Amino acid sequence: MLGAKNFHKVIEDELIKISKKLALSYDSNGIHVLEITRCSRLSYFERMDPFVDEFSNALTNIFKSSLTMFLNGITREYKIEDLAIYATVDLIIDNDMIINFVPVSKIPEYPHPNDLLYTNASMFIFDIIGGFIVYFTPEGKFVEFSVSKSKRMFEQVVRRARILHLLLKEKKTPVVEPSELCFSCKYFQRCFGQQKESGHMLDILGVGKKK
């Protein structure tokens, strides 16, 4: 009967199921650029010992995946010996321009380094010269940033891919990569325990108050 059901739980469970269907399928010899350009420790935990999918994460994944599919996003493989690196782009225009869309709550003044690394790597993997990152808000505001193709940045991505691939094979947890993103990470306590509110923790992450 309708009255006996917890509809919030029913909706949550269904969205989580959809999210899991859209999630990245992991290959032991393949690394997605998304895994490399974010924290390696986060990517390791997501593969080896993930938390149960949460409702908010499910919504974000569905939204991003739906946007990519709507824009006919494409995934391509880049082989390096026994390692495959995958990149997915949201939009390719005239085979000479990549555009990746990033939903945000507030329009940024500068592109995030992770997004720069991701789009730059995509430009090499797809062998395309031009690249843009477009940040947009729910209100329809947006800003675009041009990405200059950098071989050095791509080499950094390849190096990180090799390291993550090796650590996954050996089941060794990557070192902590402190940043402001740690505070909102679901694996925070695995890295820092109960130190979230401490002043020392702020200093470690490089976001302490300036004296």
Higher per-residue confidence, 18 vs 106: 106
User: What local confidence, expressed as pLDDT, does residue 18 receive?
Assistant: 66
Rounded to a whole number of angstroms, the CA Rg of the chain reads 19
| Position 32 confidence tier, pLDDT thresholds 50, 70, 90 | very high
Using the predicted structure, report yes or no on whether residue 123 has a pLDDT greater than 90. yes
User: What local confidence, expressed as pLDDT, does residue 26 receive?
Assistant: 59
User: Residue 30: beta bridge partners?
Assistant: 84
Location of structure tokens 């992450």: 205
CATH no. for residue 120?
3.90.320.10
Of 49, 48, 130, nearest to 91 by C-alpha is 130
Strands (E), the chain: 30-32, 74-80, 83-89, 91-93, 97-103, 130-136, 142-147
On whether residue 211 sits in a domain, the answer given is no
On whether residue 77 sits in a domain, the answer given is yes
Using the predicted structure, report yes or no on whether residue 209 has a pLDDT greater than 90. no
Q: Helices 40-48 and 151-170, interaxial angle, to 10°?
A: 40
Domain coverage including residue 153: 18-171
On whether residue 38 sits in a domain, the answer given is yes
Using the predicted structure, report yes or no on whether residue 130 has a pLDDT greater than 90. yes
Higher per-residue confidence, 12 vs 76: 76
On whether residue 69 sits in a domain, the answer given is yes
| Position 210 confidence tier, pLDDT thresholds 50, 70, 90 | very low
Distance CA 165, CA 83 (A): 8
Total domain count for the chain? 1
Distance CA 41, CA 159 (A): 15
Using the predicted structure, report yes or no on whether residue 1 has a pLDDT greater than 50. no
Lowest mean pLDDT among 52-56, 87-91, 109-113, 132-136: 52-56
On whether residue 24 sits in a domain, the answer given is yes
Using the predicted structure, report yes or no on whether residue 207 has a pLDDT greater than 90. no
What average pLDDT does this structure show over 160-172? 95
On whether residue 116 sits in a domain, the answer given is yes
